Copies of this chain bind each other. A is one copy, B any other.
Amino acid sequence: MSDREHTDQPPELPATSWAVLGILSFGTELSGYDVKQWADQSLAYFYWAPSQSQIYTELRRLEQLGMAVSRVEQTHAAKSRRLYGITELGRRSMRQWSDEVAAEPVVLKHSQILRLWAAHNGDLDRLRESLAAYRDEALRTAEESGAHAVGARREEDWRFSGVALEWAERFYRDEAARIDWLIERLKGMR
């Protein structure tokens, strides 16, 4: 019995599901709408922002698997929202996923570099402009991540998500620096 708990593999789920379950694992009861906000302010910086409708789908799936439970909160007369919380099974599965399931390969789809790669078609000056704009955007993203990291560090349970956001801050700073290098590298090319 207690053996099974150690040897059972968590069910195969897309990473999205684990991400959503991960948000619930911070312990707060959340609506689908809330989950979306949280995802946009953390996940989005190193993973991606699932759409609202997808989040609802995932939450329903997690509940069906017994990893989450929901209850309806009656805020007002006519208005209500469904709050989801993680279950014991959910926590256990999350732990198994963390420890036992191999991490999928890191996915990078860098359309800026895709354009550079094919720059023998097209106007190089326009590419340079586009790169410069992307550089500034990356710096802004770095600052955003940093700001969210400060917020996350305040809560003991969020210490690792805080570090993840610090990582993101560095990532986007490095990204900007690499673009600077690239612009320099392209000087004189035609």
Contact = CB atoms under 8 A, between A and B. Distances in A.
A171 B174 CA distance: 9
A106 B104 contact: no
B111 A103 contact: yes
Given A118-B160, A120-B157, A113 B47 contact: yes
A144 to B, nearest CB: 14
A108 to B, nearest CB: 6
Interface residues of A, number: 61
Contact of A109 (B15, B121, B130): B15
Given A163-B182, A170-B181, A178-B167, A106 B112 contact: yes
A185 interface: yes
Contacts of A109: 15, 47-48, 104, 106-108
A15 to B, nearest CB: 6
14 contacts: A18-B114, A46-B110, A47-B114, A48-B109, A98-B118, A98-B122, A99-B123, A103-B111, A103-B130, A107-B109, A107-B110, A113-B167, A171-B178, A174-B178
Interface of A: 15, 18-19, 22, 25-26, 42-43, 46-48, 91, 94-95, 97-99, 103-123, 126-127, 130, 134, 157-161, 163-164, 166-168, 170-171, 174, 178, 181-182, 185-186, 189
